[in-house]
Structure 1
């Protein structure tokens, strides 16, 4: 009976996501036309610049303190490991499936980046409130659980907008450049024009080859591209250290995370803005209102983009199956080994809830922000929608089963 209750509790958050996704698909139908393509792009811009930074910043400011930061130092490292392992597995999948170039960044992003914020913010409180929860008193579990989920969301936002954002940008720019070159070869006129992707109209062109296609984002001037460095090692160091595109790394969500850290860690600022008796509590309330719109808006956008996928995205089934296997089989198994090793060497505390959150980070479906990123660049939108549909459909079962196993696992090893 307890296992059945656990299954229901873990399924409800994912089912909520699927229901909102279905609503977004309905609103995007031609006969309804409430969430059309242009509307989705405008809503994406609002989510990118307003909703997501508010959501990340306010949750961090409310739950993260200096003491928590010292205790939770391993969580950002753990999330980085999920991205590294997922990227390696995604690269292997690309070698096996041989997808088109403009989808390679999307595949890497889906394998590397999990939904580290939205789902955890829903799952953790639900698990804490459930009768017979192995994580102690519901109030204490909720307080610490929100701190863990907030830090996970903030760290994930930084990694997503500094890594996934840029590999999708590189893929979309490459396919745009290839299309432009083919148009130039077909016509001698110089009047060919194209619409640049949103948020990248002021970026410089990127010079890249097959070896560094998935390197960190860099801005390369024309003068630098003509100068050959003395060695390959120097070329690599120059690309990483000197040509890093800091503008794209410091996306609005990253800035929101930094603001949230500052408010939460500095006691004087925290007392002014956080709490029912804080003089500037209106700022906290306003940010809460804005942040609450991020999750439903992102989910509606995914649902709206889903229609393109249903009409035929051209994505191979092997790619979708490969991403599902990576995220729901290999990553969770890797996470068990990593967390068990970290506990053995004393890198993490023996807090069952903390260990549970670290393990769940390896089992989550792809981040919804990937859909936002593909919408921003107009590359792989329909394919991303199909991937999201099937990965979240399987998550309703996979996440529940893994959560039940992780609860048993942390109770056994602590």
Structure 2
């Protein structure tokens, strides 16, 4: 494929996102007030509890089988690597910009958690439908692409609501109560057990018992602070149900397929799920509008997060995915490789904004970060998608 063809295929999905996002911002204007704060909150509840679970569950039930799950084993590892590398770069950014305590969790979360939900669900099917797509038959591409995107959404939701949620919680509580938090006490308790003064009467075995006991206490303390209700969000629960339906043949034959006796349930779920993508994108546009109001967040901080998410991580993603292919960890399916690469190039997850609202820590700063990140992602995603398609085609 030529550069012009690659640019056309890569830019069309991003343009679709921009148009719908722009419409959402327009509807959220005070003078229009169709998608105001109260409306966005109510519509977001419908998306969270109804549309998104229906979309994820129905797509996984249709497209995932036991064989495909085995073939996608590297995807959770790939997403974990985006979080690890993003967190390392986020910590480095903290050292450089020295932000207030309550913003540290937001910064690390924004650097590590990408939008693994609605953006892949929009971009991947759109790429498949474009003339000149390097991924072969459009129908097969869309079916497989939706499976990859749905798995990405489900895994991403688990990571966001376990890792980022508790990051923001811990740092916001540290700024409010001098850091006496259950999760914070883990490093201090563990360190204290290692730095206990040695004595001739204390044996090595005794020290080991003390250390193990301390670790057990701190892990139990952490488990009490992890919000399991947030971890098992409706989309995550729907993903589990979709996996079970897709992989258990008798259940799949009852619900999935043109001859399935209970296919009306699957068809109804698909019908409801079709509303998720445009609705989520409209809400994103409305939420980004808040960033125009500005806040006290520093420009170096915003630019640092943007560079981490949209420049450094995609470059590292190329090295990781190409390395995994080279040593035989990943099968050389161009669409699958494209999805793995795309996971490194996405702007921060929109759920981070919801999390900052829950703890009242950095909500306005998060809006500014999201505005800049998503605005510049319209350019970076097009360019990176071009490069990714050239690499895998």
Match in the other structure for 2:163:
163
**Are 1:45 and 2:27 counterparts?**
no
1:262 positional shift: 0.9
Match in the other structure for 2:194:
none
Gap change, CA 1:99 and 1:299, over 3 Å in 2: farther
Match in the other structure for 2:313:
331
The range that moved more, 59-68 or 130-139, is: 130-139
1:287 and 1:380 map into 2 onto residues whose CA distance is 36
**Gaps in structure 2 of 5+ consecutive residues:** 189-207
Q: Is the 8 A contact 2:182 2:222 kept in 1?
A: no
Match in the other structure for 1:207:
182
> CA RMSD, aligned part only?
2.8
Gap change, CA 1:146 and 1:45, over 3 Å in 2: closer
Gap change, CA 1:401 and 1:25, over 3 Å in 2: closer
1:143 and 1:308 map into 2 onto residues whose CA distance is 36
Match in the other structure for 1:267:
249
Local SS of the residue matching 1:367: coil
Q: Is the 8 A contact 1:86 1:111 kept in 2?
A: yes
The range that moved more, 352-361 or 79-88, is: 352-361
Q: Is the 8 A contact 1:298 1:369 kept in 2?
A: no
Question: What are the equivalent positions in structure 2 for 1:244-393 lying under 5 Å apart?
Answer: 244=223, 245=226, 246-393=228-375
Local SS of the residue matching 2:376: helix
Q: Is the 8 A contact 2:27 2:34 kept in 1?
A: yes
Q: Is the 8 A contact 2:101 2:171 kept in 1?
A: yes
1:391 positional shift: 1.4
Q: Is the 8 A contact 1:305 1:381 kept in 2?
A: no
Q: Is the 8 A contact 1:89 1:326 kept in 2?
A: yes
Match in the other structure for 2:7:
7
The range that moved more, 401-410 or 238-247, is: 238-247
Match in the other structure for 2:71:
71
Among 217, 233, 240, which residue is 2:219 paired with? 240
Gap change, CA 1:51 and 1:382, over 3 Å in 2: farther
Q: Is the 8 A contact 2:291 2:370 kept in 1?
A: no
2:99 and 2:379 map into 1 onto residues whose CA distance is 28
Match in the other structure for 2:90:
90
2:131 and 2:156 map into 1 onto residues whose CA distance is 30
Q: Is the 8 A contact 2:185 2:218 kept in 1?
A: no
Could you list the per-position Cα deviations for residues 197-247 of structure 1 after superposition, in whole angstroms to 9, with x for gaps in the alignment? xxxxxxxx943548869xxxxxxxxxxxxxxx9856654444336642233
The range that moved more, 304-313 or 321-330, is: 304-313
Local SS of the residue matching 1:288: helix
Gap change, CA 1:295 and 1:377, over 3 Å in 2: farther
If the length of structure 2 is used for normalisation, what is the TM-score? 0.84
1:314 and 1:294 map into 2 onto residues whose CA distance is 33
Among 393, 405, 408, which residue is 2:387 paired with? 405
Q: Is the 8 A contact 2:129 2:138 kept in 1?
A: yes
**Gaps in structure 1 of 5+ consecutive residues:** 182-204, 214-228
1:176 and 1:296 map into 2 onto residues whose CA distance is 38
Match in the other structure for 1:143:
143
Gap change, CA 1:138 and 1:401, over 3 Å in 2: same
2:19 and 2:359 map into 1 onto residues whose CA distance is 26
Q: Is the 8 A contact 1:302 1:371 kept in 2?
A: no
1:397 positional shift: 1.8
Q: Is the 8 A contact 2:254 2:262 kept in 1?
A: yes
Q: Is the 8 A contact 2:170 2:184 kept in 1?
A: no
Local SS of the residue matching 2:349: coil
Q: Is the 8 A contact 2:115 2:348 kept in 1?
A: yes
1:35 and 1:173 map into 2 onto residues whose CA distance is 32
1:172 positional shift: 4.0
